[in-house]
Amino acid sequence: MATHAGESLKDRAVRVEGLSRSFSKAGGVINGLDLTIAPGEFVALIGRSGSGKSTLLRALAGLDRSVSGSGIVEVPDRVSVVFQDSRLLPWRRVLDNVTLGLTGSDARTRGLEALSEVGLEGREQAWPHELSGGEQQRSALARSLVRDPQLLLADEPFGALDALTRIKMHKLLKKLYAAHNPAILLVTHDVDEAIALADRVIVLVDGVVGSDIHVDLGEKRSPGDPRFAALRARLLAELGVVEDEVA
Ligand SMILES: Nc1ncnc2c1ncn2[C@@H]1O[C@H](COP(=O)(O)OP(=O)(O)OP(=O)(O)O)[C@@H](O)[C@H]1O
């Protein structure tokens, strides 16, 4: 079974070596995968449905202890996870969700600061069901950041949002990333989201790294940029998608 040993990490936020995971005897989902992520690096993980993206993320999050497998997984001490749904506790107000588990006399202040950072000042006493889907995901981001993570694991965090809200959330994530600079592993189905946000895009194929591509497009990235379009075409081809089918 993989180990979680933050202490031995030095210049890396993630070190994975020879990771394997399988749910049945029929075959592996992750098949001897190697991966390193540098501190402060933003990596997007794409791959066809069933390629093992969530399984890998859960292995990094330490949420798969009952699954059979082997290999080395090292992550930092402070890891936060954000999912497609906010996972706010419905019986706790927003601020109490954000500060859940925090210790120290400044927990409330830190919670309020985090909510302000994600644009939710004034909503701290709301109940989760009173928030829109986008606001719930903002709360989830606040809850993850208030712990000052060295690594943020995000599994399709904007997948359930409409296109306009998703664009706003991209801007927010960029702002939070610039301010806090955790390493990020973002699982996404959205190739444009991956190119717009990440330093590196990894394509997972049959449970191993198929491609590992450095995104060299600078800060301001536009889908209208021919280099953006070329990278999109390459990634879609690697996913086995014909671009005309997507348009
Ligand atoms: N708890 C489980 N029990 C049995 N099989 C599982 C379990 N979780 C995942 N699998 C299987 O492992 C494979 C990879 O699943 P995983 O969720 O990691 O893929 P994914 O790349 O995240 O897919 P998607 O893009 O559709 O979310 C799939 O074939 C899935 O059916």
How are beta strands 183-187 and 42-47 bridged, if at all? parallel
Q: Rounded to whole angstroms, how far apart are CA atoms 102 and 33?
A: 34
Q: How many residues does the chain have?
A: 247
What's the Cα-to-Cα distance from 57 to each of 53, 62, 63, 148, 217, rounded to whole Å? 6, 9, 9, 19, 26
Local confidence band at 246 (pLDDT 50, 70, 90 cut-offs): low
Measured by CA distance, the residue closest to atom 13 of ligand 1 is 50
**98-155 per-position pLDDT tens digit:** 999 898 889 999 999 999 999 999 999 999 999 999 999 999 999 999 999 999 999 9
User: Which DSSP helix (H) or strand (E) runs through 171?
Assistant: helix 163-180
**168-195 per-position pLDDT tens digit:** 999 999 999 999 999 999 999 999 999 9
Binding site membership of 52 for ligand 1 (Cβ less than 6 Å): yes
Q: What's the 164 CA to ligand 1 centre distance in angstroms?
A: 28
pLDDT given at position 240: 87
The interface predicted TM-score of the complex, written ipTM, equals 0.96
Residues ≥6 apart with Cβ < 8 Å to 89: 97, 100, 128
Question: By C-alpha distance, which of 84, 52, 211 is closest to 153?
Answer: 84
Which of 19, 53, 68, 186 maximizes ligand 1 atoms within 8 Å of its Cβ, making it the mutation to test the pocket? 53
Domains of the chain from N-terminus onward: 87-148 (1.20.1580.10)
pLDDT given at position 3: 52
What percentage of the chain reaches a pLDDT higher than 90? 76
Type of residue at 87? R
User: Which DSSP helix (H) or strand (E) runs through 137?
Assistant: helix 133-145
pTM of this prediction? 0.92
Which of 20, 23, 25 maximizes ligand 1 atoms within 8 Å of its Cβ, making it the mutation to test the pocket? 23
Averaged pLDDT of the chain: 90
Q: What's the 235 CA to ligand 1 centre distance in angstroms?
A: 21
Contact 204, 210 (CB under 8 A): yes
Q: Does residue 4 carry a pLDDT above 70?
A: no
Atom of ligand 1 nearest to the CA of 155: 22
Atom of ligand 1 nearest to the CA of 52: 18
Measured by CA distance, the residue closest to atom 29 of ligand 1 is 50
Over residues 10-18, the mean pLDDT reads 88
Binding site membership of 80 for ligand 1 (Cβ less than 6 Å): no
Q: What's the 85 CA to ligand 1 centre distance in angstroms?
A: 17
Binding site membership of 23 for ligand 1 (Cβ less than 6 Å): yes
Instruction: Encode 204-226 in three state secondary structure.
Output: EECCEEEEEEECCCCCCCCCCCH
Local confidence band at 245 (pLDDT 50, 70, 90 cut-offs): low
Q: What's the 29 CA to ligand 1 centre distance in angstroms?
A: 8
Binding site membership of 27 for ligand 1 (Cβ less than 6 Å): no
